[in-house]
Chain A
Amino acid sequence: MTTALFVVLAVISVVAGALVFRVDSMARATFLLLLSFLAVAGLVLMTGLQYLGVVIVLMMVIEMVVMAVFMIMYMMNPAGLMPMSMFHNTRGSAVIAATTFVALAGGALLVDWPVRGGAPAPDLTMALGESLMSGQMLTMMTLGVTLFATIVGTVVLAAGRGRYDRLGDELDAPESDDRDRGGVGR
């Protein structure tokens, strides 16, 4: 039963991942990728990591929908109405893909896997939280600040009008002249 479930999820994740490059619609490609990630989340759930598995589902659904918006914004043929190829540099990517596959598969087969020592924690979510919030606290804080800086930087670069455009050089205009007024009335 467990093996059958594993095989089904593994096949779905690989096949859906491969189909991403066979369909000619950006929307279908995005949601096939989501299907692949959902199968991976199922595999994570099978290892007993309930919290991580569910969080992968949560994050991937949001990410893929947001990604669909961006992909369609930037692709020349978003809807698959005209035939188009998802491939670029086919020979180079075939070589890279084959090399990666051989390296990873060879590694999985040839490595002398260690025997499991110790037992899993009774509450894996708790153990994960304690690890992240004690030993890995510095990593997580660095990661959080870096991501936040990236978001702020991207918004600053992308914003068409900053606060000086909206409220004047002294920021003293009583209200902005935005075309679309927000809900707070600034």
Chain B
Amino acid sequence: MCGIAGLIHKGKSSNVGSEMTAMLQALKHRGPDSTGFAVYGEPTEGDYIMRIKCAEREDMESGRGFTEVLAKRISDVEAILKEHKANVKAKEEATAYALRYLLSHDGDTEDMARHIEELEGVEILSLGNGLELIKDLGDATVVSETYGLGDFQGTHSIGHTRMATESDVDIRSAHPYWAFPYNDVSVVHNGQITNYWIKRRQMEQKGHRFMSNCDSELLAVYTADNLANGVSLEESLTRSIQEIDGVFTYLVATKDQLGMAKDSMAAKPLVLFESDDLIAMASEEVAIRAILPQEIDTTDPYDEEVRVWQA
């Protein structure tokens, strides 16, 4: 089933970490397998935030010997950063397998990202000036507390609670997906993509990488491909309704925008609240009410509807 949520504050920062946690916790019944957040802080010009995972949960339980494997992977990542002349300003470990690096880097981030992902078991969850992408198994409160999201200040955020249907319960299949290698772009999706393998083969022929077998990853790659070709976010969302088959509602966030698209069957829900300074949307109204308890006016977007909001 899955639950998706998004919120964007216009022209100001807010505690989007705790707001998105409350929204996703209210959607827990739609998907208790894993929870993911893409939160956007104030962009750090010249500095990059990179979040990586170096193992899956099941790897961590595979035995004592894995600690050494994990340490080797992390040191290999740091060696590559050094090779690409990326200066590590700060390093944080939320869990033994999930790390956050604050980097200053003048070179080609795409080249560096591709180099890092050549390492076995290492996946870059996000890379950008403002985006921080966090996903793990468990409900919103557990993931938020583990990764210290409670006091995260930012302008906008998207999030996801996952009920695994098409692929495994693991972090690589959890949402949001980063639109590799496009900085600061992330996607969450509720639905099922029926031409996934056809579109995946097309994207792979163009050189795009897939890290999972989850159909939602296609939307991130598809969006990245469009953005790389100079297509605007709104145009990419509009094209997707014709080019992607299935039933879906998905949200895309960039450094300063948040967009939504609903398929032509309108089979997946989304409730929308709009005011002058805040736009909030979720699979169910109960999630919006988690941050706006007062009486509000909400609407359901119709089939083939595409919207984009500016932070």
A and B co-occur in one complex: no
Q: Which residues of B contact A (CB under 8 A)?
A: none
Q: Which residues of A contact B (CB under 8 A)?
A: none
